[in-house]
Amino acid sequence: MNACIQCNEASSYKCPICRKPYCSVACCKLHRETPCTAPEIPKVEPPKEPMTFDFPTEDTVPIEKLELLKQSSEVKACLDNPHVRTILELLDKSPHPDQLIQEYMQEPIFTEFVDACLKVVQPPENDE
């Protein structure tokens, strides 16, 4: 158990703002006489190790190309649509996404998203 920040007794409560412990209403009132601030939440850095695929195939898109999706304004515009985001969440949670994709490919808004992604990861080859 933590010690009260005012009287060092055993504390049962925490300030809702700064999360420091206090033991009673009296100590809480004393603490509130001086303004407090919320503690800084440390930023969590993503892992630096490169992502790999467990079972790559000849159709596996390289990580470098997948990273390009983040920069595509067309993909971002598609993701602004809440219906597209809902479809993607359902696909992500589905035990059989392959069956759902067949169904969603009938929806123009989803095919627009898929086409935007394909333009980034599989750009059309120039006929020169």
Which pLDDT belongs to residue 118? 92
Is 14 within a domain?
A: yes
Which pLDDT belongs to residue 58? 85
| Claim to verify: residue 77 and residue 114 sit in the same structural domain | yes
Is 70 within a domain?
A: yes
* Burial status of residue 121 (CB atoms within 10 A of its CB: 0-12, 13-18, 19 or more): middle
- In this prediction the pTM is 0.55
Is 25 within a domain?
A: yes
Residues 75/81/87/89 CA torsion (nearest 10 deg): 80
* Count: domains in the chain: 2
Is 17 within a domain?
A: yes
Domain carrying residue 22: 1-38
Q: Which residue positions in the chain have pLDDT lower than 50?
A: 127-128
Is 55 within a domain?
A: no
Which pLDDT belongs to residue 126? 56
| Claim to verify: residue 67 and residue 115 sit in the same structural domain | yes
Which pLDDT belongs to residue 119? 92
Q: How far is CA 36 from the centre of its chain?
A: 30
Which pLDDT belongs to residue 1? 64
Which pLDDT belongs to residue 127? 47
Is 2 within a domain?
A: yes
Which pLDDT belongs to residue 47? 66
| Claim to verify: residue 69 and residue 112 sit in the same structural domain | yes
